[in-house]
Structure 1
Amino acid sequence: MITELLRGACDFTAGRSDGRVEIHVPEYHGWKLVERRAARPLESLIYGAGLLDNLHADLGSFFEDREWHAQMGIPYRRAYLLHGLPGNGKSSLVSALAGAFGLNVCVLNLATPVLGDDRLTALLGELPRRALLLLEDIDAVFLGREPRTPDVKLSFNGLLNALDGVAAGEGGRVTFMTTNDLDGLDAALIRPGRADLHLLTDNATRAQVAGMLRRFWPGRTAAHADELAARLPESEVSMARLQEYLLERRADGVGVRRN
């Protein structure tokens, strides 16, 4: 009885106690805590076309629908594919969402030479409670269905079975996959059920540029930020490059306006 009481208390409070997100990485067949970082506020992120609001709403709806999934006989798990050019906030988005929902993040590199089919299945079966699974840069693992390098020990079928096979479980696992090369992925890997929702994180639109300018200089009017943003070509500069430029000049607002 005491064990069950403590387990329930842990499930209820994990990831919520101090506003920080725990980052876990694989260690043998389990997971090791490597960092506890402050949860990034969602309002600090700037994405285009309602991406953040739509994803937040979809994830929130999933967490509320456990009983509905059971009644419908639909496996209770959800997977997202974030694709687009590098430097546009795919990993930042996952970390911020984890903080918003009081969750932690388990980061798994599928290309590591020590990761085979059996170990992947074991790791996914031992995910810490209240944790999102983040599979970064999955395009670096397979080209189509073939390993990109001889160091990849994981098989394509082993990955598919771990994601949604008989042993994948239905305990509410949420998986995020990121890729910089959507065209290089086999259709079987990103079909519904394995990647339920595809979301594009592209280079900065002018609206995103204007939003970033107003975050750095809150006193600027929307019209002034829009006027400066109009000087940049649409979707040509990554959000990371834009942020780097503004960080270097955060004390030189006049220079930013001039250049």
Structure 2
Amino acid sequence: MRGRVLSIAGSDSGGGAGIQADIKTITVLGGFATTAITAVTAQNTLGVFGVLDIPAEFLRSQIRCVLEDIGTDAFKTGMLGHADNIAVVAEEISGYRKVPFVLDPVMVAKGGALLLKPDAIAALSEILIPVSTLLTPNLPEAEALLGSRISGEDEMIAAAKALHQNGAPAVLLKGGHLPGSRLTDVLVTCDSVETFTAERIETRHTHGTGCTLSGAIATLLAQGRPLRDAVMEARLYLRAAIVAAPGFGAGAGPLNHTVTMPSDGPEQQTL
């Protein structure tokens, strides 16, 4: 077991996303998962039916208990819910600037439920994104952060660059919401712009894909992988978990987090 990862996110009663997906992903990839829960949700593959927020000061207590005793080699955030939680996270991790921090800006659930209050988007942009190592938005999240539509690969690249210029040290913009038989993700860092393309897997079992990808990247960074390598390996793991999905539920089903990562990878192109 190598690499301690503190996941700060919401709980998914259906087990496919949030804290549950993070714990499974981190463990399967050989890391040690610790958690700070921001909210408890009542949800399944059909949607989110209720959200119970954890008080911000209790979130702070969870984070401090972990860091003061166990420590961490990486942070990963998912559903933060509201501005008070964002402020707490920014304050509590401020002394760990050299520790990798993967920020998944969870805003809307797969079924459409709002998971980040509108007033929290500004707080996310202003105080949390600039201290992250990697921002991992999907297209709707990037559109909300930028206030503009993204309808093609060229616009994806422009949007990822804009997020980087707006303060994110690195951005992995995920293109799964675009139509077509192939999907492309864009990685922008201080040094390069790179695309990763793969054939789309036609399936409804995609619940928790964003949580799983960001959790995998955080684990690999905690284990000392360079950012680009962590992104590539995490994408392989995610793809394998989608292919091996168990088929549970009547809606957007969960992945199979217990898969072994394949050795071959997607195409990549440096721009």
TM over 0.5: no
**Structure with the greater alpha carbon radius of gyration:** 1
TM (normalized to structure 1)?
0.32
Query: Of Structure 1 and Structure 2, which has the larger fraction of its residues in helix?
Result: 1
Higher relative contact order (CA 8 A, sep 6+): 1
